[in-house]
Chains A and B, each alone.
Chain A
């Protein structure tokens, strides 16, 4: 009985803490496909989307051109996408693929464990949303739909824009 209670307690705690909403994002330091060290902490102050993907996953490949467009369009507003490969893949293969798509955000080589640190969800692609303070605000399982971007990510980008406007008005007074 006690064992069952402990098990249920552990499952409940893990399901809430294994990195759902409102939890500080764990540190992440990985090598990019160009050999550069990419640290999640370097992007503090920006809205970060960690996109877990794999070259063998058709929806991951299908959504990448849209992610490139989003990075291009919203980068100036503080959006930073980081692509993390799900399984250790051959770097040359990943590099060829991302070059062909002209991917404009860092791609790092991750593992199954890297993904597990951010979400217990096995779905691919999976996009983890981290706000400007480094807090996980949720995750999007499957292809990122435009309405999901508008609903969950745009408001985080607009926060800073509205703060900037307020500061500008105050300075000019």
Chain B
């Protein structure tokens, strides 16, 4: 009986670990420095354009720090694409 329960527990743990690994494996967070973000009024376009990009889960813009923190699925979108999206909003990614 004890053996059955322990086998079941091990199986559950394995399934759970596998599930969590799959769910989080592709999620990455990156911070990109952006030049020219001098007004709060216009920097919201950066977050908007990023959030509309497939694979982006979160994009938080700080015009005071001149940066954007992006959480994304790296199986769906690359960091190069994220930089391209930022540049398309009229601002420039700092090299």
Cβ contacts B48-79/A at 8 Å (1 or 0 each): 11001000000000000000000000000000
A143 with B41, Cβ < 8 A, contacts A58-B36, A59-B90, A62-B88 known = no
**Are A60 and B48 in touch, CB under 8 angstroms?**
no
Interface status of B13 (Cβ within 8 A of chain A): no
Which residue from B36, B39, B40, B48 sits with its C-beta under 8 Å from A143? B48
**Are B90 and A60 in touch, CB under 8 angstroms?**
yes
**Are A145 and B42 in touch, CB under 8 angstroms?**
no
Residues on the A chain within 8 Å of B89, using CB: 58-59, 62, 143
Residues on the B chain within 8 Å of A147, using CB: 52
Interface status of A116 (Cβ within 8 A of chain B): no
Interface status of B45 (Cβ within 8 A of chain A): yes
**Are A57 and B36 in touch, CB under 8 angstroms?**
no
- The chain B residue sitting closest to A60, CB to CB, is B42
> Within the assembled complex, what's the spacing in Å between the Cα atoms of A125 and B49?
13
Interface size class of A (residues with CB under 8 A): 10 to 19
> Within the assembled complex, what's the spacing in Å between the Cα atoms of A58 and B48?
14
Whole-angstrom distance between the Cβ of A29 and the nearest chain B Cβ = 25
> Within the assembled complex, what's the spacing in Å between the Cα atoms of A60 and B44?
12
Interface status of A103 (Cβ within 8 A of chain B): no
Whole-angstrom distance between the Cβ of A125 and the nearest chain B Cβ = 8
A145 with B91, Cβ < 8 A, contacts A122-B41, A124-B42 known = no
- The chain B residue sitting closest to A86, CB to CB, is B41
A142 with B90, Cβ < 8 A, contacts A58-B36, A147-B52 known = no
Interface status of A24 (Cβ within 8 A of chain B): no
**Are A143 and B91 in touch, CB under 8 angstroms?**
no
A58 with B41, Cβ < 8 A, contacts A143-B49, A145-B48 known = no
Interface status of A30 (Cβ within 8 A of chain B): no
**Are A62 and B90 in touch, CB under 8 angstroms?**
yes
Residues on the A chain within 8 Å of B36, using CB: 58
- The chain B residue sitting closest to A54, CB to CB, is B42
**Are B91 and A58 in touch, CB under 8 angstroms?**
yes
- The chain A residue sitting closest to B36, CB to CB, is A58
Cβ contacts A35-69/B at 8 Å (1 or 0 each): 00000000000000000000011111111000000
- The chain A residue sitting closest to B87, CB to CB, is A62
A sample of 8 inter-chain contacts (CB < 8 A) reads A62-B90, A122-B40, A143-B45, A143-B49, A143-B89, A145-B49, A145-B52, A147-B52
List 4 other contacts, CB 8 Å, given A56-B39, A58-B36, A142-B44.
A59-B42, A59-B89, A62-B45, A141-B48
